[in-house]
Amino acid sequence: MHFWHPSKRYGVGIIFIVGGLGGVVFWGGFNTFMEYTNTMEFCISCHEMQDNVYQEYKTTVHYSNPSGVRAICSDCHVPKPWGAKLWRKIQASRELYHKLVGTIDTPEKFEAKRLILAERVWAQMKANNSRECRNCHSFEAMHWEKQRRRSREKMQEGLKKGETCIDCHKGIAHKRPITDEDDD
């Protein structure tokens, strides 16, 4: 009887309990789905990714290397901090729109857009100081003496200039599109 006709005291309590439980269930479901969208299986579930960039990625050091460490799509393309991750997921809604309208649904369409797509990712990485690269790679942890002489010199030179990973490492996990820089 009190549930249907609660007093003010119990009515407010029930509202808080139901609202709190509803919030927990919503948050749990929302966060679980966000994490699911960070899996390799989700990333390559559409044929555009399966047939194009995934095939390239499988030939790179990020996929297979002597240490046995593998970076997956979300390691490079989704920030770890929650707010930045949420913003990236919102931006991904544009990618869903283009999936629906077939912007890159054939290898030819994908190749025609490759440079534009790559430049967006490069600009984002430049703007955030290659944050996702630094989740795994840090200058502080590098063994400079174990690098090839030329690599060590270029990395240290870039560090002094304030450059970020993507300034030199474009095309590290996917085929690098030809840019105006390449014509120089």
How do residues 138-156 score in pLDDT, each as one tens digit?
888 888 888 899 989 998 9
Q: Is the pLDDT of residue 184 over 60?
A: no
Q: Is the pLDDT of residue 119 over 70?
A: yes
Q: Place 2 in a pLDDT band, splitting at 50, 70 and 90.
A: low
Q: Is the pLDDT of residue 28 over 90?
A: yes
Q: Is the pLDDT of residue 81 over 60?
A: yes
Q: Is the pLDDT of residue 165 over 60?
A: yes
Among 118, 133, 3, 21, which Cα is nearest to 80's? Answer: 133
What average pLDDT does the segment 163-177 reach? Answer: 88
Q: Place 5 in a pLDDT band, splitting at 50, 70 and 90.
A: low
Question: Dmax over Cα atoms in the chain, in whole Å?
Answer: 81
Give the tokens for residue 156.
């240290």
Please report the sign of the dihedral spanned by the C-alpha atoms of residue 86, residue 90, residue 95, residue 100: positive
Cα separation, 20 vs 34, in Å, equals 21
- The share of the chain scoring above pLDDT 90, in percent, equals 46
pLDDT at 172: 85
Among 179, 146, 136, which Cα is nearest to 165's? Answer: 136
**CA angle, 10 then 11 then 16, to 5°:** 95
Cα separation, 32 vs 30, in Å, equals 6
What average pLDDT does the segment 104-132 reach? Answer: 91
**CA angle, 48 then 33 then 166, to 5°:** 55
All structural domains of the chain with their residue ranges: 37-42+50-62+69-177
Give the tokens for residue 126.
């430049």
Q: Name the strand (E) or helix (H) holding 149.
A: helix 149-161
Q: Is the pLDDT of residue 25 over 90?
A: yes
Q: Which CATH class is domain 37-42+50-62+69-177?
A: mainly alpha
pLDDT at 106: 87
pLDDT at 7: 60
pLDDT at 66: 87
What average pLDDT does the segment 95-110 reach? Answer: 87
pLDDT at 144: 87
Among 116, 26, 125, which Cα is nearest to 78's? Answer: 125
Cα separation, 147 vs 131, in Å, equals 22
Q: Name the strand (E) or helix (H) holding 53.
A: helix 53-57
